[in-house]
């Protein structure tokens, strides 16, 4: 396998978003986006006593892209302006299409609040092409058990296929543009060759642990590696128990106009989004 080389290495910036601590490897000053991936937030792991919400994000709007939540542990209660309500548990994924507009909140679930525990996850913003930015809002609630697992290296490597095709299997998430999303868990010493489709932009985010890339340098947790489109994939050998997320997608290649929670193609469309939100066109959120 011809290996892809590294274009950029970014360390997560630590941000405090109204009491919620998040690590942000994308965007950074150096890497604005890895088209179609716009933003990656790693929240937690935060361990709390009963009664504390380590997440607690109140109602806010989105338009023009897809916010995706990979919950590694904990419990989240999601509620939106279209009357949807859902609970995510450890291992679950929520693939939301904000499309023309949605207002939602993301808070600890009642069960988590009662028991306390550890909350950890990733929120990823996947851009939508112009023709689908105003799609009907929707969300795919993907339970852990629906995600196919590919086991390699005698069980030392477990790949959970959330989106796209991989080694004859298909991930459950529907996406508007071709995307591969693989949650990779390595036991210390585990080795895998990860294939990446040609012409897909690709990044690897290491949540925990340490892994040697392509038999060469090693990278530690909270690092994002962005690859060039110059090979068929990458190899990883874990130096410790390691959790990583491989994201690859066909680039959209359109202008990006972003302001806060809206991602459109032009500034005019951003102004329209702000106005539509104020006029109640994204629905009304009822607590
Ligand atoms: Mn949100």
Q: What is the pTM of this model?
A: 0.97
The proportion of the chain whose per-residue pLDDT surpasses 70, expressed as a percent, equals 99
Interval between CA 123 and ligand 1 midpoint (Å): 9
pLDDT tens for each residue of 176-223: 999 999 999 999 999 999 999 999 999 999 999 999 999 999 999 999
Q: What angle do CA 181, 248, 231 make, to 5 degrees?
A: 130
Is residue 17's pLDDT more than 80?
A: no
Q: Which residues contact 228 (CB under 8 A, 6 or more apart)?
A: 4, 5, 6, 7
Q: Which pLDDT belongs to residue 140?
A: 95
Count of other CB atoms within 10 angstroms of residue 14: 11
pLDDT of amino acid 245: 98
pLDDT(21) > 90: no
Own/partner long-range contacts of 158-161 (Cβ < 8 Å, ≥24 apart): 158/184, 158/185, 159/183, 159/184, 159/185, 159/192, 159/194, 160/184, 160/185
Would you place residue 284 in the very low, low, confident or very high pLDDT band (cuts 50, 70, 90)? confident
How close is the Cα of 248 to the center of ligand 1, in Å? 22
From the CA of 216, how far away is ligand 1's center (Å)?
Answer: 38
Whether 20 has a pLDDT exceeding 80, the answer reads: no
State the distance from the centre of ligand 1 to the C-alpha of 174, rounded, in angstroms.
Answer: 19
Residue-range domain boundaries for the chain: 6-249
- The residue length of the chain stands at 287
Cα of 138 to ligand 1 centre, how many Å? 13
- Residue-wise pLDDT for 91-146, tens only, equals 999 999 999 999 999 999 999 999 999 999 999 999 999 999 999 999 999 999 99
Q: What is the DSSP string of 139-157?
A: EEEE-GGGS-EEEEGGGTE
Structure tokens at 3: 């290996």
pLDDT attached to residue 286: 85
What's the 68 CA to ligand 1 centre distance in angstroms?
9
Encode pLDDT of 38-92 as tens digits.
999 999 999 999 999 998 889 999 999 999 999 999 999 999 998 889 999 999 9
Show the tokens assigned to 216: 């060469």
Q: How far is the CA of 75 from the centre of ligand 1 (A)?
A: 16
Architecture, CATH, for domain 6-249:
Sandwich (2.60)
Residue-level pLDDT at 29: 86
Per-residue pLDDT reduced to its tens digit, 234-260: 999 999 999 999 999 999 999 999 999
Interval between CA 60 and ligand 1 midpoint (Å): 6
């Amino acid at each position: 396998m011809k290996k892809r080389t590294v274009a950029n290495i970014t360390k997560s910036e630590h941000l405090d978003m109204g009491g919620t601590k998040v690590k942000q490897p994308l965007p950074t000053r150096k890497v604005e986006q890895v088209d179609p991936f716009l933003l990656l937030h790693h929240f937690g792991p935060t361990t709390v006593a009963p009664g504390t919400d380590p997440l607690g994000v109140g109602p806010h709007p989105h338009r023009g892209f897809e916010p995706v939540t990979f919950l590694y542990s904990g419990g989240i209660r999601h509620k939106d302006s279209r009357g949807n309500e859902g609970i995510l548990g450890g291992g679950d994924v929520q693939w939301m299409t904000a499309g023309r507009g949605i207002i939602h909140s993301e808070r600890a679930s009642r069960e988590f609040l009662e028991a306390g525990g550890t909350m950890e996850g990733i929120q990823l913003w996947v851009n939508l092409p112009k023709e689908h930015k105003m799609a009907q809002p929707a969300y795919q609630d993907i339970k852990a058990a629906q995600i196919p697992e590919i086991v390699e290296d005698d069980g030392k490597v477990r790949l959970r296929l959330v989106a796209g095709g991989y080694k004859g299997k298909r991930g459950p998430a529907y996406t508007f543009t071709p995307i591969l999303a693989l949650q990779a868990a390595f036991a210390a010493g585990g080795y895998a060759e990860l294939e990446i489709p040609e012409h897909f932009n690709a990044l690897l985010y290491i949540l925990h642990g340490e892994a040697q890339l392509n038999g060469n340098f090693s990278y530690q947790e909270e690092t994002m590696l962005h690859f060039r489109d110059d090979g068929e994939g990458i190899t990883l050998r874990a130096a410790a128990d390691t959790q990583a997320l491989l994201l690859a997608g066909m680039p959209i290649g359109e202008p990006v106009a972003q302001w806060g929670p809206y991602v459109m193609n032009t500034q005019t469309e951003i102004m329209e989004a702000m106005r539509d939100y104020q006029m109640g066109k994204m629905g009304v959120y009822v607590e």
